[in-house]
Amino acid sequence: MAKLKLMILGKDDDVLRAHCRPVDQITDRIIRLLDDMTETMRANNGCGLAANQVGVLRRVVVIEVEEGNVIELINPKIVAMAGEQHESEGCLSLPGRWGITTRPKSVTVRALNRKGEEFEITGQDLLARAFCHELDHLDGKMFSDNAEMIDPDKESRGGN
């Protein structure tokens, strides 16, 4: 595994604002990307990472809101949402910046795993926020686009 370079908003906008392409075939390269993204996310104290945040324009996401439980999503789509939450969010591509966002309280995502098997997973609270945050990245959207407040003075605590 390898730690990958993070794309930073303001420097790497062409990649961060791009729409990611679907994965047509799960190859060794995609498996390596999943592993490298997990290492990169953990090394930067994040709880989620989208492929374009490491310069790869593919619909691939890793999320780890519970230590040791990495959720890998290939070609993810939100299929259900319910409720509402207003919480603080940060982002590894906007280091040291935080904002309050409105997200669904519950989100169900359909995706492929690393074996190419389709599955659905439902997340509540932080996991629901992470699903929305990371899938937004795949469409070139940043949490700051919809944040009610950005607070650059908060201590950096990692991010999605």
pLDDT by residue (tens digit) across 92-129?
Answer: 999 988 999 999 999 999 999 999 999 999 999 999 99
By residue count, the chain amounts to 160
Is residue 112 within 8 Å of residue 132, measured between CB atoms?
A: no
User: Is 8 domain-assigned?
Assistant: no
Q: How far apart, in whole angstroms, are the C-alpha atoms of residue 65 and residue 49?
A: 11
Specify the pairing of strand 60-66 against strand 94-103: unpaired
User: Is 50 domain-assigned?
Assistant: yes
Is residue 141 within 8 Å of residue 133, measured between CB atoms?
A: no
What tokens appear for 34 in the block? 């999943």
User: Is 85 domain-assigned?
Assistant: yes
For position 156, what pLDDT does the model report? 40
The mean pLDDT of the chain is: 93
Q: Indicate if 87 belongs to the active site.
A: no
User: Is 49 domain-assigned?
Assistant: yes
Is residue 127 within 8 Å of residue 43, measured between CB atoms?
A: no
User: Is 81 domain-assigned?
Assistant: yes
Range 6-18 average pLDDT: 96
User: Is 51 domain-assigned?
Assistant: yes
What's the domain range around 66?
A: 13-150
User: Is 36 domain-assigned?
Assistant: yes
For position 97, what pLDDT does the model report? 87
Q: Which amino acid is residue 104, in one-letter code? A: P
Cite the DSSP H helix spans in the chain.
13-16, 28-43, 125-138
**pLDDT tens string 54-87:** 999 999 999 999 999 999 999 999 999 999 999 9
Q: For residue 151, what pLDDT band results from cuts at 50, 70 and 90?
A: low
Range 23-49 average pLDDT: 97
Q: Greater confidence, 151 or 39?
A: 39
Is residue 143 within 8 Å of residue 91, measured between CB atoms?
A: yes
CATH of the domain at 131: 3.90.45.10
For position 152, what pLDDT does the model report? 61
- Among candidate residues 117, 134, 148, 155, the one labeled active-site is 134
Total tally of structural domains belonging to the chain: 1
Range 26-37 average pLDDT: 98
For position 1, what pLDDT does the model report? 74
114: Cα separation from own chain's centroid: 17
For position 124, what pLDDT does the model report? 98
Q: Which residues of 47-79 are buried (b: 16+ CB within 10 A; e: fewer)?
A: bbbbbbbbebebbbbbbbbeeeebbbbbbbeee
User: Is 5 domain-assigned?
Assistant: no
Q: How far apart, in whole angstroms, are the C-alpha atoms of residue 81 and residue 50?
A: 20
pTM for this predicted structure:
0.92
